[in-house]
Amino acid sequence: MTSPTSGAEQPAPYGTGPVPQAKTAGRIRIHHLQQAKDEGRRFAMLTAYEQYAAEIFDEAGIEVLLIGDSASNNVYGNETSLPVTVDELLPLCRAVSRSAKRAFILADLPFGSYEVSAAQAVETSVRFLKEGGAHAVKMEGGAFYADTVRAVVQAGVPVMAHIGFTPQSEHSLGGYRVQGRGDDARRLIEDAKALEAAGAFAVLMEMVPADVAASVDAALRVPTVGIGAGSSTTGQVLVWQDMAGLRGGKMARFVKQYADLRTILGTAAREYAADVRGGTFPGSEHSF
Ligand SMILES: Nc1nc(=O)c2c([nH]1)NC[C@@H]1CN(c3ccc(C(=O)N[C@@H](CCC(=O)O)C(=O)O)cc3)CN21
Ligand SMILES: CC(C)C(=O)C(=O)O
Ligand SMILES: [Mg+2]
């Protein structure tokens, strides 16, 4: 193979020198996630909605950052993920994609932005890549969405499918409940296979019995990601404010809390306020 750098050293003609690769060098891509499955390794995914979380998780080696529609109830103050819009998620996606150098950037399609037609799904997905800087999108839904997945993939947008408990359908599913128990296990496996056949590069399962999730993972060539789906999936995902203990209140069973940021930030804010009220902040070292 010949390359511009082989043979005798010659000045490169203008415009043919090496292209800077900083933007993509070392970037996690879909084939790395596939390799993880093929070689029996697991990968980690977290949500991220802004600059510092994105930078910190990227530097920590988290392979996939998800701009989740869970921004609805973790950023925008809604009770559920239903109200959040494309126009609200796009700026968060842009902030994360600007801030992460290595992670694969995955954007959730919010409720109402892809269900109407395959054309609507393609239009919304393209916006997340063009305007949000995402590398792929995730959408909720089973085999019924296979044609939609196929259309988006054909347009050049990789798709992660999301099955099991799909929070955008909580009112159809009758609440926040484990999916795929008993006879429903077979349907979950068929959904996953149909979505893989439609071109999904991965399948995420939420709140599915561990043995059923293991069967789905075994039935698929592509990697799986789990949240409340046991330890047999290729990857795992958590909402970062749950994982880091920033969010208060009762946590779902599938959450493991690795830090207590809510207490740390609350203590910092109380100490700051006390210093201000007591006149000890700012000190002379903070003054001009
Ligand atoms: N902060 C946050 N964390 C999440 O994991 C999350 C969001 N927000 N927003 C969108 C969806 C909603 N999700 C949720 C939220 C709560 C439960 C929950 O309360 N589960 C209970 C009941 C399970 C059952 O009885 O079947 C649990 O104890 O796990 C589950 C999924 C997951 N996603
Ligand atoms: C919980 C994960 C899988 C998600 O879809 C989200 O954060 O929106
Ligand atoms: Mg979501």
**pLDDT of 216-235, one tens digit each?**
999 999 999 999 999 999 99
* Binding-site residue positions for 3-methyl-2-oxobutanoate: 69-70, 108, 138
Report, as an integer, the average pLDDT of 111-131.
98
Ligand 2 test: best mutation among 57, 89, 139, 237, most atoms within 8 Å of CB?
237
Q: How far is the CA of 254 from the centre of ligand 1 (A)?
A: 8
For residues 235-266, one letter each, b for 16 or more C-beta atoms within 10 angstroms of the residue's C-beta and e for the rest, the string is: bbbbbbbbbbbbbeeeeeebbeeeeebbeeee
Question: Does 16 have pLDDT greater than 80?
Answer: no
Specify the pLDDT at position 7. 46
Question: Does 6 have pLDDT greater than 60?
Answer: no
- Any atom of ligand 1 within 6 Å of the Cβ of 155: no
Report, as an integer, the average pLDDT of 180-196.
97
State yes or no: is 170 an active-site residue: no
- Any atom of ligand 1 within 6 Å of the Cβ of 176: yes
- Any atom of ligand 1 within 6 Å of the Cβ of 181: no
Question: Does 167 have pLDDT greater than 80?
Answer: yes
Catalytic residue (one of 50, 59, 115, 206): 206
Question: Does 35 have pLDDT greater than 70?
Answer: yes
Specify the pLDDT at position 25. 74
- Any atom of ligand 1 within 6 Å of the Cβ of 180: no
Specify the pLDDT at position 5. 45
- The more confident residue out of 14 and 117 is 117
Find out whether 233 and 211 touch, Cβ atoms under 8 Å: no
| Band (18; pLDDT cuts 50, 70, 90) | low
- The more confident residue out of 28 and 2 is 28
* Binding-site residue positions for Mg(2+): 69, 108, 140
| pTM attached to this predicted model | 0.92
Find out whether 217 and 233 touch, Cβ atoms under 8 Å: yes
Question: Which runs of consecutive H residues, i.e. helices, occur in 47-183?
Answer: 51-59, 71-74, 86-99, 118-130, 146-154, 170-173
pLDDT digits (tens, 9 = 90+) for 238-268: 999 999 999 999 999 999 999 999 999 999 9
Q: How far is the CA of 39 from the centre of ligand 3 (A)?
A: 28
Q: How far is the CA of 281 from the centre of ligand 2 (A)?
A: 40
Specify the pLDDT at position 9. 59
Report cis status (omega within 30 of 0) of the bond before 209: no
| Superfamily holding 30-257 | Phosphoenolpyruvate-binding domains (3.20.20.60)
Within 10 A of 225 (CB to CB), how many other CB atoms are there? 29
Report, as an integer, the average pLDDT of 41-63.
98
Q: How far is the CA of 229 from the centre of ligand 3 (A)?
A: 15
- Any atom of ligand 2 within 6 Å of the Cβ of 242: no
Kindly state the percentage of the chain with pLDDT values over 70: 92
- Any atom of ligand 1 within 6 Å of the Cβ of 138: no
For residue 142, give the nearest of 158, 161, 168, 169 by alpha carbon: 161
Question: Does 177 have pLDDT greater than 80?
Answer: yes
